[in-house]
Amino acid sequence: MRTGIVAKKVGMSRLISETGVDTPVTVLVVEKCTVVGQKTLEKNGYIATQIGYGLKKKSRISKPMAGIFGKRGVEVPAHSVEFRLDPADSLPDVGSELLVDHFTPGQFVDVSGISIGKGFAGGMKRHNFGGLRASHGVSVSHRSHGSTGNRQDPGRVFKNKKMAGHMGQVRVTKQNLRIVHVDLDLKILCVKGAVPGAAGSYVEIRDAVKKSA
């Protein structure tokens, strides 16, 4: 498994082919995506490459952080992610830049990101519950999730019961998304379908684990 890259989500659009096929895509921009670190089996116990995206403002860089990346000969990235590698894979050189042509059109990828936070949501929005009846004695609780427990036995609510609560803002991975378009000049990738995260958020793109092109 080779290293992945970090991209920034721009938003959604659509691509229309010459035959008139309309494909919904998510536009991801990849710029200043560089290798900023390495983890080796001898020193760290595992093999990984650290990929950075963008540059952090100088006013936001602490002295320890500047020292760590200064020894590596790279600038402090705005966002960095580690990608685990197999022992047989070769580690890319620190300071090398990864471009959008790291992937090819038609290839399948897995995209990970932090989903949009929805705050405290009810059972109907969070778990697609049907809600209570609109009549026959139901009053002021049409959107409630109803009973959550049983009787005296077991006398408690089981863990992981689907109820109202915090929704979103968790790590989500969408698998087997197809690369539709790669533009080296504009530094963008177009992936078919939706990917997790709000516009402007960082996402991680890896080769698909379960599917090949």
Tell me the pLDDT of the chain (213 aa) as tens digits.
789 999 999 999 999 988 999 999 999 999 999 999 999 999 999 999 999 999 999 999 999 999 999 999 999 999 999 999 988 778 889 999 999 999 999 999 999 999 999 999 999 999 999 999 999 999 999 999 999 988 899 999 999 999 999 999 999 999 999 999 999 999 999 999 999 999 999 999 999 999 876
Distance of alpha carbon 53 from alpha carbon 10, whole angstroms: 15
pTM of the predicted protein model: 0.88
Instruction: Please enumerate in sequence order all residues whose Cβ is within 8 A of that of 142, keeping only pairs 6 or more positions apart, or say none.
Output: 131, 132, 133, 134
Distance of alpha carbon 40 from alpha carbon 50, whole angstroms: 11
Paired tokens of 26:
């998510």
Percent of the residues in the chain that have a pLDDT greater than 70, as a whole number: 100
CA-angle at 70, arms to 66 and 71, nearest 5°: 130
pLDDT digit string (tens) for 2-12? Answer: 899 999 999 99
Which of these, 114, 79, 55, lies nearest to 6 by C-alpha position? Answer: 79
Question: Are 100 and 124 found together in one domain?
Answer: no
Question: Are 82 and 141 found together in one domain?
Answer: no
Q: How far apart are the first and last CA of the chain?
A: 15
In a domain, 212, yes or no: no
Question: Are 87 and 26 found together in one domain?
Answer: yes
pLDDT digit string (tens) for 74-124? Answer: 999 999 999 999 887 788 899 999 999 999 999 999 999 999 999 999 999
DSSP string, 39-74: E-HHHHSS-EEEEEES---GGG--HHHHHHHHHHT-
> For residue 128, what are the domain limits?
120-167
Question: Are 183 and 100 found together in one domain?
Answer: yes
Question: Are 114 and 124 found together in one domain?
Answer: no
Number of C-beta neighbours around residue 15 at 10 A? 14
Residue pointed to by tokens 């490459």:
49
What are the beta bridge partners of residue 36?
none
Please tell me the predicted confidence (pLDDT) of residue 163.
96
Question: Are 19 and 55 found together in one domain?
Answer: yes
Instruction: Please enumerate in sequence order all residues whose Cβ is within 8 A of that of 165, keeping only pairs 6 or more positions apart, or say none.
Output: 120, 121, 126
Instruction: Please enumerate in sequence order all residues whose Cβ is within 8 A of that of 112, keeping only pairs 6 or more positions apart, or say none.
Output: 171, 172, 173, 174, 196, 203, 204, 206
Question: Are 101 and 189 found together in one domain?
Answer: yes
Please tell me the predicted confidence (pLDDT) of residue 35.
95
Please tell me the predicted confidence (pLDDT) of residue 213.
60
Please tell me the predicted confidence (pLDDT) of residue 65.
93
In a domain, 124, yes or no: yes
Region class of 176: left (phi > 0), else alpha (psi between -120 and 50), else beta = left
